[in-house]
Amino acid sequence: MSKSGQEKVLWRRIAVAAWWLGVAALGTAIGAATGTKWQWWSYPEGFVLLRWAVYGAMAAVFGAVVAAAGALSRRQWRRVRWVVLGAWVAAAPVLATTGWWLYRAKVYPAIHDIATDTVQPPQFDKIAVLRRAGDHPTDYEGEPVARLQRQAYPDIRPLELDLPPAETYLRVLETVARLGWEVAATDPATMKVEATDQTFWFGFKDDIVIQVRLAPGGSRVDMRSASRVGRSDLGVNAERIRHFLGMIEAYKK
């Protein structure tokens, strides 16, 4: 085979290898998340798989760049373009998603327990006994966490409504049902609800407690959302509280 023919084969082989790496990385990342969610392995093992998926995606992008540069320098782009683009398309979701998570880990504080009232946060009762060994305890960690929360999420506050507490409590129950949270306990006497939500990726479980009280103008809703595992929640618990209280305030039957 001539030197020109060897080069044509070389760039295409590199491109094909990059494509396979990208596909494997994407499959590994999806498998890491779904396997953890379905409890095939623990979340630290899932993160190890995700790390290897990122390495594979980076290698795929590098290989695709090398193949593209080599093919372009020899005017052979048409022979490798679709394979190179395929490698980039396969690797992009892995790198973009993990990059977004890393960005959020830097932007948001390393806390995982968010409450509308950091002085007297709602307490977990039923859920406290459901947590397993290795999960975070349900006791609120106090001022160190409260200070970080106030700095990062100054808008997380109790919701006050000009409605009787009983009516507000019904809104809470119906909104929890709409969101599909797994209800652990409801107590009409104390107007308290405990539930669990699950993240789409990796299936991380976050526990929620909502407390309705009588307030001078009507009723007050306090809420706490706490992750079972992980040092940082990447802002998920604060987003959940904002979304839920927004639904309560704009409630429509």
- Assigned architecture for domain 113-249: 2-Layer Sandwich (3.30)
Token code pair at residue 208? 């929620």
Neighbours of 51 (CB within 10 A): 14
Count the neighbouring beta carbons within 10 Å of the beta carbon of residue 155.
7
Domain residue extents for the chain: 3-107, 113-249
Helices (H) and strands (E) in the chain, counts: 7, 6
> pLDDT tens digits, residue range 39-78?
899 989 999 999 999 999 999 999 999 988 888 877 777 7
pLDDT < 50 positions in the chain: 1-2
Cα–Cα distance measured from residue 136 to residue 125, given in angstroms and rounded to the nearest whole number: 14
Separation CA 143–CA 43 (nearest Å): 29
Cα–Cα distance measured from residue 87 to residue 64, given in angstroms and rounded to the nearest whole number: 6
Determine which helix (DSSP H) or strand (DSSP E) holds 182, and give its type and residue range: strand 182-187
With H, G, I as helix, E, B as strand and everything else as coil, classify residue 226: strand
pLDDT score, position 221: 98
pTM of the model: 0.86
Which pLDDT value is given to residue 108? 95
Task: Please tell me the predicted confidence (pLDDT) of residue 251.
Answer: 82
What pLDDT, on the 0 to 100 scale, is given for residue 8?
59
Give φ, ψ of 157 to 5 degrees: -140, 165
